[in-house]
């Protein structure tokens, strides 16, 4: 693989944030959702994990499920305390009922106390029951303040809301070839001053050792004023490209990974938003080109952007280089 480069270190960047020892890497460097593909060890879990960041970034479904389970668990704990203390200390609770029914009354009383609703059907009596109810009310106020803050933080957190094509293509371009992928916004937000930065990680043999080299890829257009429609990001495989002169098989043999970083300004949030993703050589389609994904409305008054067509492509003839320049 070292034949791919006249000088493996030429154009290489060392501040990528990733190591260069390919033998120690496991899978891709960056996940599709932009997170780094690594697991940290050597410290206790509670020191390595930020609960706030975890809850803010958690998917909506698991987050709501976690809130529901936490709410239910707190009520089960306090209901058990009331039940153990004796349901006779809860005025309005029928002590002649079955134990499970008495427990359910204690559970619903706990829910009313935790949320400070207090319907009045059941009320605590005695020092122990009133103390537990007072502590639960305080905990309820604190918990709902935190949960409200989390909901607001998740709702107000600036996001780019970008979707990327599933594959990166090598398509004909300017009497040659180019690597390209497509991106578009899928919400009704408006992104301006959008910039793209692409870095390629390539696995090569240097002095008999397999290493990872990182190279910035120059783009035909690296910044657009407004991302109203889709944007096909293009890297021309010319003399400035680290992939110049590579055949299809040599590109695959390099086991590359494209690390994508998109930055933009969101008019609604009045804030800068960032989104990352990556493509590996397994997601490369050679000899394909993207099909249009927007068209004029029938009445000609507006443009229709078909987001479900962001991955649409067709076969295209790509001429292989006759001679590997760096061989």
pLDDT digits (tens, 9 = 90+) for 122-167: 788 889 988 998 999 999 999 999 999 999 888 888 888 999 999 9
The predicted model gives 198-222 an average pLDDT of 85
Helices 127-156, 99-114: crossing angle, 10 deg rounding: 60
Q: 102 is written with which tokens?
A: 């008495």
Angle at 245 between CA 242 and CA 248, to 5 degrees: 100
Check pLDDT > 50 for residue 285.
yes
Q: pTM of the entire structure?
A: 0.74
Assign 95 a pLDDT band (cuts: 50, 70, 90): low
Q: Residue 11: what pLDDT?
A: 60
Count how many Cα atoms sit within 13 Å of the Cα of residue 323 in the half-sphere of its side chain.
Answer: 2
Distances (CA, A) of 321 to 30, 73, 102, 157: 30, 65, 80, 47
Residues 141/130, Cβ–Cβ less than 8 Å: no
Q: Residue 13: what pLDDT?
A: 57
The predicted model gives 6-35 an average pLDDT of 59
Check pLDDT > 50 for residue 8.
no
Check pLDDT > 70 for residue 322.
no
Q: Residue 19: what pLDDT?
A: 52
| Residue-wise DSSP of 279-318 | EEGGGEEETEEEPP-EEE-TTSSSEEE-GGGTT-EEE---
> Domains, the chain, ranges and CATH?
2-38+159-315 (2.60.40.1400), 48-156 (1.10.287.70)
């Amino acid at each position: 693989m070292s034949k791919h480069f006249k000088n493996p270190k030429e154009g290489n960047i060392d501040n990528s944030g990733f190591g260069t020892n390919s033998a120690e890497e496991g899978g891709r460097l960056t996940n599709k959702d932009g997170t780094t593909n690594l697991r940290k060890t050597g410290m206790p879990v509670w020191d390595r994990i930020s609960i706030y960041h975890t809850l803010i970034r958690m998917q909506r479904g698991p987050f709501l499920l976690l809130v529901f389970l936490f709410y239910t668990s707190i009520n089960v704990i306090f209901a058990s305390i009331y039940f153990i203390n004796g349901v006779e200390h809860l005025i309005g609770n029928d002590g002649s009922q079955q134990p499970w029914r008495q427990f359910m009354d204690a559970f619903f009383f706990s829910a009313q106390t935790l949320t400070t609703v207090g319907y009045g059907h059941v009320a605590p009596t005695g020092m122990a029951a009133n103390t537990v109810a007072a502590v639960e009310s305080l905990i309820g106020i604190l918990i709902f303040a935190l949960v409200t803050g989390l909901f607001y933080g998740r709702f107000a957190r600036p996001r780019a809301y970008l979707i990327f094509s599933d594959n990166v293509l090598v398509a004909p371009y300017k009497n040659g070839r180019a690597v390209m992928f497509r991106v578009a916004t899928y919400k009704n937000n408006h992104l301006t001053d959008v910039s793209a930065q692409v870095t390629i990680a390539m696995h090569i043999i240097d002095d008999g050792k397999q290493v990872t080299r990182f190279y910035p890829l120059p783009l035909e257009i690296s910044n657009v004023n407004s991302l109203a429609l889709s944007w096909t990001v293009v890297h021309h495989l010319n003399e400035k490209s680290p992939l110049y002169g590579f055949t299809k098989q040599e590109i695959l043999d390099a086991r590359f990974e494209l690390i994508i970083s998109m930055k933009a300004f969101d008019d609604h949030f009045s804030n800068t938003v960032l989104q990352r993703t990556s493509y590996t050589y397994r997601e490369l389609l050679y000899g394909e080109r993207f099909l249009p994904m927007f068209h004029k409305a029938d009445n000609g008054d507006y443009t229709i952007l078909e987001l479900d067509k962001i991955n649409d492509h067709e076969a295209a003839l790509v001429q292989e280089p006759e001679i590997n320049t760096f061989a």
